[in-house]
Amino acid sequence: MVLQIQPPTQPEVIYPDSDGQPVANNTIQFGWIVEIKQNIEWLFADDRNVFVAGDLFWYPVEGRNKIVDAPDVMVVLGRPKGVGVARRRHRLCYQQWKEEGVAPQVVFEILSPSNTQTEMDKKLLFYDRYGVEEYYIYDPDRNNLHGWLRAENGLDVIPLMEDWVSPQLKIRFAPSSEGLQLYRPDGERFLTYTEIFRNAEQERQRAELAEQARRDAIPRLLQMDLSIKQIAQALGLSVEEVQSLAQE
């Protein structure tokens, strides 16, 4: 009888999805992280294969759970927004070997007073080593913006950030003495949540006023002996809609 010796079982490698630290150290840093992340998500809302995340752990090497970083914002072109059945399952972390080996191409870091130069030097080394194409750092307290772009020998400093356009995202950076502004490819400025809410509220009010104006116009047009069909054409409504509004 030959005794079969089983190979030792390799312990499962755990990839934590949190370090217990807050996403941001202050409201200014958090506001910038949210603004950049959300505006880039809206920019690529119709592209299923652009994944945008904030403060998500990124593991570039399988089996090495100590090699990890969590960019404030990272953008991965060519990977689906969701994974799993019907793309409804969210990622707990970004495990690069499960993403066809695709590294985040664009990374943003927003500085806070607690960030040290040593910490940021390590981040630059990490992003350089593991394939980031564009790396941007903004310090809102000092209003300083820096960028790096991948060249033949790794990430190189972008010498002039004024009106710099991201090769991957096509967004434009417009630093000034009053602070950084970011612009979409269509020239529209990145908006804060407050501005987005105000715009949405204004659009809602305009839509309500337009709807009420159409309602008010129907009786007057009927008094002018216009047919239901003519009124529908004039107001851009269906015949059924005009009939329903006329009966109210």
Structure tokens given for 54: 């904030």
**φ, ψ dihedrals at 191, nearest 5°:** -115, 150
> How confident is the model at residue 223, as a pLDDT?
78
Neighbours of 91 (CB within 10 A): 19
Q: What is the mean pLDDT of residues 145-157?
A: 97
> How confident is the model at residue 7, as a pLDDT?
56
Higher pLDDT, 228 or 157: 157
Largest separation between any pair of C-alpha atoms in the chain: 105
What DSSP element (H or E) covers 101?
Answer: none
Say what percent of the chain tops pLDDT 70.
87
231 in Cβ contact with 239 (< 8 Å): no
206 in Cβ contact with 221 (< 8 Å): no
pLDDT band at 87 (very low <50, low <70, confident <90, very high): low
Q: What's at 107, amino acid-wise?
A: V
Task: Using alpha carbons, select from 248, 190, 191 the residue that is nearest to residue 222.
Answer: 248
Q: What is the mean pLDDT of residues 121-131?
A: 97
> How confident is the model at residue 88, as a pLDDT?
54
> How confident is the model at residue 222, as a pLDDT?
78
> How confident is the model at residue 103, as a pLDDT?
98
- Which of 43-47, 89-93, 205-209 shows the lowest mean pLDDT across its residues? 205-209
What's the burial of 203, exposed, middle or buried (CB within 10 Å: 0-12/13-18/19+)?
exposed
Which residues make Cβ contacts (< 8 Å) with residue 71, sequence separation at least 6? 55, 56, 58, 104, 107, 108, 109, 127
Neighbours of 69 (CB within 10 A): 19
Which residues make Cβ contacts (< 8 Å) with residue 5, sequence separation at least 6? none
> How confident is the model at residue 179, as a pLDDT?
92
- pTM, whole model, 2 decimals? 0.75
**φ, ψ dihedrals at 143, nearest 5°:** 55, 45
